[in-house]
Amino acid sequence: MTTQTTASETPETPETASAPEAARTGLIGLPTAFGRALATGGGALTIVSTFLAWTWTAAFPGDLTVYGYPGGLQVLVLIGGVLTTLFGLASYGVKGLGRLAPGSADSAVKTAALGTFATAWYTVIAISAKLGGVVNLEPGGYLVAVATLAALVGALALPFERPAPDPIDPDDSSWEKFRHARRQDWSTFKAAFAAEAPAPGRKLPAYAEILVIVAAMALGLLVFTYGIGTEYDELFIGFLITAGFGFGALAKAGLVARVSAITARHRNITMTGAFLAAAAFPFTQSDDQYATIGVYILIFATVALGLNIVVGLAGLLDLGYVAFLGVGAYTAALVSGSTSSPLHVNMPFWASALCGAAVAMVFGVLIGAPTLRLRGDYLAIVTLGFGEIFRITVLNMDGTSGPDVTNGSNGISSIPNLNILGFDFGQEHQLFGATVGRFANYFLLMLLITLIVVVVFRRSSDSRIGRAWIAIREDETAALAMGINGFRVKLIAFALGACMAGLAGSVQAHVTYTVTPEQYQFAHVVPPNSAFLLAAVVLGGMGTISGPLVGASLLYLIPAKLQFLGDYQLFAFGVALVLLMRFRPEGLIPNRRRQLEFHEETEAPAVLSKAGA
């Protein structure tokens, strides 16, 4: 039996193609055929184990005592087992399953098996630790431990090969060396061009591609709703493990690239579908418990998307960006009819939102004009100083140390709920037969503002000024030599990013009822703050739309769910960030050019081989 192209890490070289599959080994030295059978069989046995009881008592959350019905963490292990089995069958070339892995089925099996093993063994260890030993396990618990271990061992036996670079012959003449160098440069260019192209494969009809987009959005909504609604700590940790490795397995299989290519061909439909999927989230909740987290995630994500213009497109390192969120929040609080506002002004929401965005933009211009001639670390230090100056200034404007404007450390409180065209956002309403509470109302409003920010970002990045931002980010000296007015271009980015943050801040003021100076520190315990905002952009994927949205969602959701760790919360969070930067420095949803920059020595030959094929 010969290995198919999708069953290895990379397309086979002539040397490896001539070797029988049984003689090829993976990381642990077992024959490939035996490893593939062991991984597939282990995945199938894992599925069976989830329908058995894992413990005898319901003292462990999730009720893992039921036969014939998976519950709690068993559902997550079941998903991992299904992925492992399907990708294992796809690596065999089973008819009809080949489309599940247009990329590398073997790599997908490895990732899925590792994630399933991690979730299952974490559950077994948690049961033993919580209940007092492995004697509290039922046969299903022992079976899932053995099955996932067998699947992992089999997956590690699958081939793991990378094409070796073509060395320069030391006996070549200087002319041959020059020709070799030119060939290498041309290969790099073709690899970069291939990376920008959609994944190869048979193109689906338009209606089928739209159905794929709808299915992807529905799956995203299901995963987000499940994650935000996890009822106990062990389930959330298992969810993180399964979701992370599951996404990795789908990416290794090539399905993420295939769906990304489809969404790129239908960008408007994709944006509309994502908006509708997010708008359906409040209707999946019975109360405001998780809608509260949802509205704060949207505020955080919207501000991160504005920062992405400054950092991701223009390449300006801003460490005081949260101050613009505070400017918008304080401006809206002062003019929205709060009883503690010294201005005693009551503007409608649209006017207060415009004021918050406009004042933040003015501050962006005032701060950017004298500082944007700096570069790199110097600009970062100046923006960090601006963030602290803003916090100290509003802290001292209490009528004693300065003018009575912001009430100092007490902040501006009693900010009234919004009332737009008679719709009171502080009251429950019946929409489409479902009860929508206060935070769900603000979630829908913030979702509309997020959509506006996404449209502005997209139109800006595709425009002439967006191309100028990218040119400045890549090489400012070369951009200036080509006639780009660097100062003006960077000032526009700074002002537009500040405007978006101010718009989000105007909603945040009404959601939180009170704005205080400590909310806008550089590294406040609870996001959003400048450190978390920058991390959301970098970890999500700089220069993209979906990257900061996903990064901000994770960076807000994970700390909110890891509060049971207490003093070790930030430690665990930091370790996760370090691991992510180590293994995926380009971000979760990267720009293809940045991805090629970080993995040029490993990805370019593979992409080139596929393109050549």
> pLDDT by residue (tens digit) across 485-499?
888 999 999 999 999
Check residue 9 and report its DSSP letter.
S
Can you give the pLDDT at residue 170?
Answer: 41
The identity of residue 120, as a single letter, is A
Residue 590 lies in a domain: yes
* Higher local confidence (pLDDT), 93 or 41: 41
Can you give the pLDDT at residue 524?
Answer: 63
Count of helices and strands (H, E) across the chain: 23, 4
Whether the predicted pLDDT of 203 surpasses 80 = no
- The closest alpha carbon to 471, from 493, 454, 455, belongs to 493
Lowest pLDDT segment from 131-145, 160-174, 366-380: 160-174
Residue 172 lies in a domain: no
Task: Note whether 533 and 589 are same-domain residues.
Answer: no
- For 35, 90, 384, the CA distances from 156, given in Å and listed in that order, are 7, 17, 47
Each residue of 326-361: pLDDT tens digit? 999 999 999 988 888 888 888 888 899 999 999 999
Lowest pLDDT segment from 173-187, 353-367, 525-539: 173-187
- Distance CA(60)–CA(460), nearest Å, equals 52
The CB density around residue 415, as the number of other CB atoms within 10 Å, is 25
Whether the predicted pLDDT of 610 surpasses 70 = no
Residue 178 lies in a domain: no
Residue 174 lies in a domain: no
Residue 220 lies in a domain: no
Task: Note whether 238 and 139 are same-domain residues.
Answer: yes
How many Cα atoms sit within 13 Å of 88 on the Cβ side?
A: 29
Q: What is the CATH number of the domain that holds 147?
A: 1.20.1440
Check residue 521 and report its DSSP letter.
-
Backbone angles phi, psi at 231, to 5 degrees: -90, -20
Task: Note whether 612 and 483 are same-domain residues.
Answer: no
Q: What is the CATH number of the domain that holds 509?
A: 1.10.3470
- The closest alpha carbon to 256, from 101, 89, 77, belongs to 101
Whether the predicted pLDDT of 166 surpasses 50 = no
Give 26's pLDDT tier (boundaries 50, 70, 90): low
- The closest alpha carbon to 290, from 94, 537, 22, 560, belongs to 560
Q: Which residue has the tokens 């503007």?
A: 347
Can you give the pLDDT at residue 160?
Answer: 63
Domains contained in the chain, number? 3
The secondary structure of 398-427 as a DSSP string is BSSSS-BSS-GGG-B--PPPPEETTEETTS
Q: Which residue has the tokens 């036969």?
A: 67
Q: Can you give the residue range of the structural domain that contains 483?
A: 294-418+437-561
Each residue of 567-591: pLDDT tens digit? 777 777 778 778 777 777 777 777 7
Can you give the pLDDT at residue 10?
Answer: 39
- Distance CA(95)–CA(106), nearest Å, equals 17
The answer to whether residues 116 and 46 touch, using CB atoms and an 8 Å cutoff, is yes
Can you give the pLDDT at residue 54?
Answer: 94
Residue 599 lies in a domain: yes
Residue 201 lies in a domain: no
Residue after which a domain boundary falls, among 561, 584, 599: 561
Task: Note whether 448 and 580 are same-domain residues.
Answer: no
Task: Note whether 375 and 515 are same-domain residues.
Answer: yes
Q: How many residues does the chain have?
A: 613
Whether the predicted pLDDT of 21 surpasses 60 = no
Mean pLDDT: which of 147-151, 390-394, 461-465 is highest? 147-151
Task: Report the interhelical angle of 206-228 vs 233-253 (nearest 10°).
Answer: 160
Task: Note whether 519 and 591 are same-domain residues.
Answer: no
Task: Note whether 523 and 600 are same-domain residues.
Answer: no
Residue after which a domain boundary falls, among 249, 278, 302: 249
Task: Note whether 477 and 587 are same-domain residues.
Answer: no
Give 605's pLDDT tier (boundaries 50, 70, 90): very low
Each residue of 500-520: pLDDT tens digit? 999 999 999 999 888 988 888
Q: Which residue has the tokens 């909740």?
A: 285
Paired strand residues for 431: 434
Lowest pLDDT segment from 177-186, 298-307, 317-326, 368-377: 177-186
Residue 205 lies in a domain: no
Task: Note whether 404 and 491 are same-domain residues.
Answer: yes
Task: Note whether 16 and 98 are same-domain residues.
Answer: yes
Task: Note whether 155 and 18 are same-domain residues.
Answer: yes
Whether the predicted pLDDT of 107 surpasses 70 = yes
Q: Which residue has the tokens 């010969």?
A: 2
The answer to whether residues 532 and 561 touch, using CB atoms and an 8 Å cutoff, is no
Task: Note whether 239 and 363 are same-domain residues.
Answer: no
